[in-house]
Amino acid sequence: MFNLGIYHLSGKNPDNPWRNETSALLQFLNASRLGHVAASVEAAWYLSTGSLEGLSRDVERAVIMLKKVCEQNGHLGFMVRAALQDYLQGSRQEAFVKYVLAAETGLGLAQSNVAHLCQELNLSYDCQWRYHNYSVLNYDPHPSALLKMGDHYYYSSSSKREDSLSLVDQAMSMYGRAALAGSPQGMFNLVVLAQQAHVLPLSIRGLFNVSHRDEQDIVVKILKRCVETEEEEAVTPCSLALLGVQMGKALRRMTQNRAQLLLAYASLLSVVVIIVIVPLQSCLEHRVPSRRVFALRARTSPVSQDGVTREQDGIMGGTYRATGNPWLTILSGEQRFRQTCDLAVTLSGVCLCASWTTLLYHLL
């Protein structure tokens, strides 16, 4: 394609024997997309100068094309490779120097590594954020660098009150670019800012197809997009946050109806009843067997000397019957109390089932 563009540019094409710069530029652009160095240089010249009729000047696109060509420099590759070998061997200072040399040429990978080494070597605070800032100025920054700069702006806003709003806007811009690159962490951070009553810019709303009418659903749409980009069948912060938001909306719908609001209060009371009664029942079950033994002794008469069991009468018999009646009364009272507790637990369970069914109806 590059050679065909040269033929169009020189006018040596047999089918079109005249100079056609427009066709030549199209061939140069197609070849540059496939990584041809000379074609990228030719196309960048046309884009930077805007000398071709009908072609608007696009300096930024030209710089990006030339930067991709420069990153294919073999010397930079050898430098990054040597820095990686030094890092793996434990020579942090030597790796830092070599990464700095590569980072000063504008290589984004080296800039991110220098920022990491600044933090690992406990260098000045400005060293780390200087190279993180350099890396986000690239045409295709890594999402981790965007998140780092977003965190830097966000936490700086709490200490600098006079510029807090502008710093939060810059943090939202960084998080939005990270979200555009497919970072779930960037989307989650945008949700946190939206829940803190910060207004998201129009560019971020357009990214998630949110209009002014859908202002209340912007958090739900961002979280759904975040869940889609994360791993399937995994419990993630975005999935938990989405569940919390949907549960809150379902509870708000329930409180709008008086009957459902009463059911919600009843379910809370049911939880309290279950928490109180179940331990009380278990405590009574440990005490009842010993009392049953005393009751059985009170009901039965003592064994006579000849081995025949006879019912006591007279003064002693009356004494046994008199002492046996309180135990029977206590047992019957405990039995009625247990039946009342069972009924209360059953009603509480029914109330909780009805409440959860209503909540699931609003949730789904």
Let me know how long the chain is: 364
Both 236 and 202 in a single domain? yes
Final residue in a domain of this structure, among 50, 70, 90? 70
Both 246 and 266 in a single domain? no
- Model pLDDT, residue 306: 45
CA dihedral 243, 245, 247, 251 (to 10 degrees): 180
Final residue in a domain of this structure, among 252, 273, 292? 252
Answer for the pair 2, 28: CB distance below 8 angstroms, yes or no. Answer: yes
Both 271 and 341 in a single domain? yes
Report d(CA 300, CA 12) in Å as an integer. Answer: 126
Both 248 and 266 in a single domain? no
Both 231 and 284 in a single domain? no
In a domain, 151, yes or no: yes
Both 320 and 280 in a single domain? yes
- Model pLDDT, residue 308: 43
Mapped onto helix, strand or coil, the DSSP state of residue 303 is: strand
Report d(CA 176, CA 182) in Å as an integer. Answer: 10
Those residues whose C-beta lies under 8 Å from the C-beta of residue 91, and which sit 6 or more positions away, are: none
In a domain, 56, yes or no: yes
Q: What is the pLDDT of residues 236-266, one digit of tens each?
A: 888 888 888 877 777 777 677 777 667 677 7
Both 218 and 149 in a single domain? yes
Residue 143 clears pLDDT 80, i.e. is over it: yes
DSSP of 255-316, one letter per residue?
HTSHHHHHHHHHHHHHHHHHHHHHHHHHHHHHHHHHHHHHHHHHHSPPBPTTS-B----HHH
Total structural domains within the chain: 3
In a domain, 35, yes or no: yes
Residue 143 or residue 332, greater confidence:
143
Those residues whose C-beta lies under 8 Å from the C-beta of residue 165, and which sit 6 or more positions away, are: 157
Residue 296 clears pLDDT 60, i.e. is over it: no
Both 246 and 263 in a single domain? no
In a domain, 99, yes or no: no
Q: What are the angstrom distances between the C-alpha of 339 and each of 223, 321, 361?
A: 48, 27, 33
- Model pLDDT, residue 99: 92
Both 206 and 187 in a single domain? yes
Residue 206 clears pLDDT 90, i.e. is over it: no
In a domain, 93, yes or no: no
Q: Give the global pTM.
A: 0.64
Q: What is the pLDDT of residues 60-117, one digit of tens each?
A: 888 888 888 888 878 888 999 999 999 999 898 999 999 999 988 888 889 989 998 9
Most confident of 18-32, 73-87, 292-306: 73-87
The residues pairing with 309 across neighbouring beta strands, listed in sequence order, are: 303
In a domain, 164, yes or no: yes
Residue 56 DSSP one-character state? -
Q: Assign 2 a pLDDT band (cuts: 50, 70, 90).
A: confident
- Model pLDDT, residue 212: 61
Both 187 and 276 in a single domain? no
| Domain extent for 321 | 258-301+313-363
CA dihedral 240, 141, 173, 168 (to 10 degrees): 80
In a domain, 125, yes or no: no
In a domain, 192, yes or no: yes
**140-149, 177-186, 315-324: least confidently modelled range:** 315-324
Final residue in a domain of this structure, among 32, 53, 70? 70
Q: What is the average pLDDT value for the chain, to the nearest integer?
A: 76
| Identity of the residue numbered 323 | T
Both 210 and 272 in a single domain? no
Both 12 and 64 in a single domain? yes
CA dihedral 23, 25, 31, 36 (to 10 degrees): 140
